[in-house]
Structure 1
Amino acid sequence: MLSEDLERAIAEMVAIGEVAPDADPAALEDLVVMHARDLEGLETLTSLRTLSLIGCSAGDYRRVGRLPSLRLLAIEHSDLVSLDGVLPVGVQVVVVRNCRLSSVAPADVPTGLQVIDVSGNPLDDAAAAVVDDGVLRGAVVTRDDDRVLALNARLARADGAFVCAGAADACILTVSGLDITPHPERVHVSTTTAEVDIALSTGALRALAGIE
C-alpha cells in the first residue's frame, strides 16, 4: 500500500496530465514527490526509471534502493544523511543536492554510475574522497569546494537544516528538510561563506535566509 504522500504525488501528476487517471502505479516510469514524510510502498513502483524527491523529511530513504529499473535519481532539499542502501544497482545519474548527506562509503556507489552531483551537502572527508574517486571510474562528479564543505559541516553541527552550495565567494544558502519551512526548495539566498559564518555565529541564519 502506498503512503498518502505517494498517492498525493501521483494524483498531482494526473492533475497536470503527466499520468493517465487509470494508470497502474506499478507501471509508472517517472515520478516527482514533494514534501513527503512517508515513502511507504515506494518499492512497489518497480517500473520507475526516474524519481525526484524534493523537500522531503522521510528519514529513511532505503526504499529507493529497491527500485530495479531506476536510472535517474534526484533527491534535493531533503533530510537524507547517508547513501547506505539508497542507490539501486542500475542507477546511472544521481543528484543529491542541498541535503544533509555526510556519509558515503565505497560500497554505496554503484559501479555503473555515470554522473553524481552532491553539491550543498556536509560531506565529511571520507565521503568527499569516495565521491572524488568516481572521477577515476569515469563518472562526472560535482561537489562544493573545500571551504563550503567545511562551512556545511559547521552548519550541520549547529542546526542541521541549513546548507550552502557553490564556492566561498559566491554560494547559495538554502534549507534541507521540512523542519523550519514547508517549502525548503524556495529558499535560495545568494551570499558568501563569510556572511553565512557571521550569521551562524550570531544566531541570525533564519534572518539571512528570510525565514521568520
Structure 2
Amino acid sequence: MAPFGNAAKSLEIDPAVEKAIAKRVGRSLPWTDAELDAVTNLHISHARDLSGLLRCPNLRILLLIGCDPVELESLTALSSIVSLTVEDSALRSLNGVTEFPLYTLDLSFNFLSDLTPALRVEPLKRINVTGNPISAYSYHSIIPGLRSRGIDVTASGETEWELTNLLHEAGLPYSYYRDDQGGYRLSRPGLALTDRPEVNHPVIAPEHLRDLLTHHPAEIPNLFDRSDLTDLQIEQ
C-alpha cells in the first residue's frame, strides 16, 4: 500500500493527532494505508485540528481531551465509532452526533447547551454531560427523556448546573462541578484560556462562588493563578 507520509505533510496533521496515531501504529511517519486501517482506538490530547483523524477510517473508540475546536459534523465519516469521549474541550453543538452508532458518549466539561440531538442517538446506553451550560429545557426535559429510555445519564446537580450557567451569562466560559471527593471546582474547557484545561481546577464552595459572581466577578479568573488554592474565603 502507498505510504501516508506525503499526504500527512500536505494535510499538515496536528502534532497531537500525529503523536497519537504513531503510538498506535508503533512508529512515526510515513504510515501505510494498511497500518491506518488497523487503528481502532485513539486517545488525543490538546489537538487544534482533528482532520487527520479521517485517515483512520476504522476507529471505534475515540477520546479527545482538551481539544479545540471540536465539531462532530467534520468527523461523521468515521462511522464506526461506538464510544466517543470529548472532555475539557470546546464542543458547542451535537450536530452530527446521530451519524455515529454510539453506545457511550462522554461530553463532560464543554460548552453544550442543547442536548436534543442525543435523543436520536442509537444504540446509546450511557451519556455524561457534566459541566456544560445546558439550557433549562435540556436540563429539565431532555435529560429526563433520555433516562426514560433506559439511558444512564450523568449530569451536574442543580447547584453546579445553575452556577455554570451564571458563569457563562457573566462572560466567564467556565465549568463548575463536584469532584469525586465532594469538593466543588472550576475548570476552563477548550484551549482559549489554558494549554491544559484538564488540570488546575481550583476548589471553591458554591456560596463563595455565588458571592463573587454577585459582587466581584472580575476576580474569578484569578482563582486559576493560585495553584495552592483549596478554598476561597470571602471577606464580609
TM range (shorter): 0.7 to 0.9
Equivalence for 2:136: 125
Equivalence for 1:207: 222
CA contact (8 A) 1:6 1:39 kept: yes
**Shift, 1:126, TM fit:** 2.0
Larger relative CO (CA 8 A, sep 6+): 1 or 2?
1
3-state SS of 1:141 partner: strand
CA distance in 2, matches of 1:78, 1:160: 15
- Alpha-carbon distance change, 48 to 145 in structure 1, aligned in 2, over 3 angstroms: same
CA contact (8 A) 1:5 1:37 kept: no
Any idea what the Cα deviations from partners look like across 1:87-138, whole Å, max 9, x if unmatched?
A: 5331110001111111121466413100000001110022222133111111
Identity of aligned residues (%): 26
For the pair 1:174 / 2:187, whether they are aligned, the reply is: yes
Range with bigger deviation, 46-55 or 59-68: 59-68
Q: How does 1:1-212 map to 2 (within 5 A)?
A: 4=12, 6=14, 8-12=16-20, 14-15=22-23, 18-21=24-27, 22=31, 24-106=35-117, 109-128=120-139, 129-166=141-178, 170-201=183-214, 202=216, 203-210=218-225
Any idea what the Cα deviations from partners look like across 1:142-178, whole Å, max 9, x if unmatched?
A: 00112211111111222343111238x8422111011
CA distance in 2, matches of 1:160, 1:88: 32
Per the normalisation by structure 1, the TM-score is 0.85
CA distance in 1, matches of 2:117, 2:133: 17
Unpaired segments of 5 or more residues in structure 1? Answer: none
The count of corresponding residues between Structure 1 and Structure 2 is: 209
More strand by share: 1
> Whose radius of gyration is greater, 1 or 2?
2
Q: CA RMSD in A?
A: 2.5
Unpaired segments of 5 or more residues in structure 2? Answer: 1-6, 228-236
Amino acid at match of 1:20: G
Range with bigger deviation, 18-27 or 111-120: 18-27
